[in-house]
């Protein structure tokens, strides 16, 4: 088979490349499956980011609250989620927890990654909150604002600004972490690329294409986060 | 009127305030002096419950603010506080710093709060800085904004916690001037300070605190011209003014 491949394959590298692109991306509209995979990746990542930020904020507030029981719940959550691999968690959600419910893979993946990310986002937020000077809370409270309003209008906006670089890092990691959803039978960008590879026995074009797509998405995200950060830093300019 | 009755504050084994009793009447300008670590800031911070007393009672207009069921936020709206390190909100403009609390506590609508804020900024001479962020201001300007921010809640009592201690010497005057104006208007003030000239000129009564107790008190004249206790004599000799 290798011999026939060599015999029929074009000789120069550019002819070889265009041949592989034709076979790996164009033939049977294979590029379409890569784009579908990218769509799945983005859906899982976006859902998980929203869920993760919500859970993370909630956990962070629980951790800094004065109620021991809330602190304990938050600490236990962090311990379990950070103490086990995310792949295993995904498998447990899919094969154990949600198996009787018939919930779709997309939702299970969003829950798995969101719950996982929440633990890390919690610590990012907590760090951001702790970095806000205690005098800010005192100023807010001394003006007669309630604890909740002081947190919401004074502490959290500053905490979010502190947390943004780490938060962006977490989003970027999350997008790439979703490449394991193939374990529960989803066809995301990574899996789609590998499926083309196993059909054509030509790994180069589909795998590199997938890499370029991941890189492109993350570059756009990095740029968006950067401009958001510049906007939030407006008040730091002398 | 503030009545402090047997106020005690301790952290673990350390007693910071030991059984302090005081009456601060309306319009009084009480100046608290004393060596560092004597408990003067803690005393001031107990008055609006930024520090929780471990013993005793504090009555503000006959309301026991240490009681569990007291709405401390409502009490704090009547008592402005100015901090040594300003504690302006860095993510808000000067105007935003002044309007946040009046709007969020429901005291004023936004446009009314902005009008009041501009009047106050005019008064402290910083109307042109309304759209600036705190980081763009000098220390003296920051502290004047902080005073205006407290005044925006229309308080009846103002607490000052070493308001000029973090300032460069040439900026102390502009802040003290604003405080002098307030005193002239009859604001009830409790001022913890190391500015002895200010204490003598503006104070209606001076407390000398030492080791968690009020070691001596009286009119500025009595305290500065004729100090009785040895600790106060030593304190006054050791500072230059």
B43: nearest Cα among B210, B204, B182: B210
User: Are B77 and A154 an interchain contact pair (Cβ–Cβ within 8 Å)?
Assistant: no
Q: Which residues of A touch B83 (CB under 8 A)?
A: 135, 138-139
User: Are B153 and A237 an interchain contact pair (Cβ–Cβ within 8 Å)?
Assistant: no
Give the separation between CA A25 and CA A224, rounded to whole angstroms.
29
Burial class (CB in 10 A: 0-12, 13-18, 19+), B11: exposed
Q: According to the model, what pLDDT value does residue B82 have?
A: 97
**Does the structure show a pLDDT above 70 at B240?**
no
Q: Which residues of B touch A140 (CB under 8 A)?
A: 89, 101
Strands B157-161 and B79-82: parallel
Backbone angles phi and psi of B214, in degrees to 5: -85, 105
Give the separation between CA A136 and CA B195, rounded to whole angstroms.
25
How distant is the Cα of A225 from the closest Cα of chain B, in angstroms? 18
Backbone angles phi and psi of B23, in degrees to 5: -125, 125
Residue of A nearest to B94 (CA): A235
Q: What angle do CA A215, A221, A226 make, to 5 degrees?
A: 125
The residues, ordered by sequence, that sit 6+ positions from A216 with a Cβ below 8 Å of its Cβ are none
The residues, ordered by sequence, that sit 6+ positions from B76 with a Cβ below 8 Å of its Cβ are A141, A142, A143, A144, B48, B49
pLDDT 10s digits, B63-83: 999 988 999 999 999 999 999
Q: How far lies B101's CA from each of A169, B38, B80, B90, in Å? A: 34, 32, 11, 15
Quote the pTM value: 0.85
pLDDT 10s digits, A34-65: 999 999 999 999 999 999 999 999 999 999 98
Q: A184 in helix, strand or coil? A: helix
The answer to whether the CB of A83 falls within 8 A of the CB of A14 is no
Instruction: Please indicate if any CB of chain A lies within 8 Å of the CB of B81.
Output: yes
Q: Which residues of A touch B136 (CB under 8 A)?
A: 237-238
Q: According to the model, what pLDDT value does residue A100 have?
A: 82
B35: its two tokens:
């060596």
How distant is the Cα of A226 from the closest Cα of chain B, in angstroms? 18
Q: What is the DSSP letter of B7?
A: E
Instruction: Please indicate if any CB of chain A lies within 8 Å of the CB of B165.
Output: no
Instruction: Please indicate if any CB of chain A lies within 8 Å of the CB of B99.
Output: no
Confidence class of residue A13 from pLDDT cuts 50, 70 and 90? confident
The residues, ordered by sequence, that sit 6+ positions from A93 with a Cβ below 8 Å of its Cβ are A108, A111, A112, A115
Backbone angles phi and psi of A58, in degrees to 5: -60, -45
A42: its two tokens:
């983005």
Instruction: Please indicate if any CB of chain A lies within 8 Å of the CB of B50.
Output: yes
Confidence class of residue A233 from pLDDT cuts 50, 70 and 90? confident
pLDDT 10s digits, A191-206: 999 998 888 888 888 8
């Amino acid at each position: 088979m290798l011999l026939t491949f060599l015999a029929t394959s074009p000789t120069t590298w550019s002819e070889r490349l265009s041949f592989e692109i034709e076979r790996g991306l164009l033939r049977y509209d294979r590029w379409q499956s890569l784009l579908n995979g990218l769509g799945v990746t983005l859906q899982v990542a976006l859902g998980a980011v929203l869920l993760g930020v919500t859970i993370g904020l909630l956990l962070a507030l629980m951790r800094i609250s004065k109620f021991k029981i809330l602190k304990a719940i938050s600490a236990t959550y962090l311990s379990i989620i950070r103490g086990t691999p995310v792949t295993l968690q995904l498998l447990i959600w899919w094969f154990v927890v949600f198996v009787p419910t018939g919930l779709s893979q997309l939702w299970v993946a969003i829950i798995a990654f969101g719950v996982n990310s929440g633990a890390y986002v919690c610590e990012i937020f907590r760090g951001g909150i702790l970095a806000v000077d205690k005098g800010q809370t005192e100023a807010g409270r001394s003006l007669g604002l309630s604890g909740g309003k002081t947190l919401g209008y004074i502490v959290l906006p500053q905490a979010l600004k502190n947390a943004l670089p780490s938060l962006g890092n977490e989003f970027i990691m999350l997008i790439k972490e979703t490449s394991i959803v193939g374990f529960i039978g989803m066809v995301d960008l990574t899996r789609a690329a590998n499926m083309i590879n196993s059909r054509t026995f030509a790994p180069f074009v589909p795998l590199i294409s997938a890499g370029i797509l991941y890189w492109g998405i993350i570059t756009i995200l990095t740029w968006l986060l950067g401009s958001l950060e510049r906007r939030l830093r407006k008040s730091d300019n002398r | 009127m503030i009545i402090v009755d047997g106020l005690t504050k301790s952290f673990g084994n350390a007693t910071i305030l030991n059984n302090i009793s005081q009456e601060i009447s309306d319009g009084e300008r009480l100046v608290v002096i004393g060596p560092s670590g004597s408990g003067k800031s803690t005393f001031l911070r107990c008055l609006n419950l930024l520090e929780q007393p471990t013993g005793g009672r504090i009555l503000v207009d006959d309301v026991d603010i240490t009681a569990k069921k007291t709405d401390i936020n409502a009490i704090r709206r009547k008592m402005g506080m100015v901090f040594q390190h300003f504690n302006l909100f860095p993510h808000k403009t000067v105007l935003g710093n002044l309007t946040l609390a009046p709007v969020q506590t429901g005291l004023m609508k936004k446009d009314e709060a902005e009008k009041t804020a501009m009047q106050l900024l005019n008064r402290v001479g910083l109307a042109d800085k309304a759209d600036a962020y705190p980081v763009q201001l000098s220390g003296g300007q920051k502290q004047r904004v902080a005073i205006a921010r407290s005044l925006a809640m229309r308080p009846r009592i103002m607490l000052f916690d070493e308001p000029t201690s973090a300032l460069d010497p040439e900026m102390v005057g502009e802040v003290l001037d604003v405080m002098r104006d307030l005193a002239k208007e009859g604001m009830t003030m409790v001022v913890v300070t190391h500015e002895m000239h200010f204490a003598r000129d503006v104070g209606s009564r001076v407390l000398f605190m030492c080791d968690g107790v009020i070691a001596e008190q009286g009119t500025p004249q009595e305290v500065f011209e004729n100090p009785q206790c040895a600790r106060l004599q030593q304190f006054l000799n050791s500072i230059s003014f």
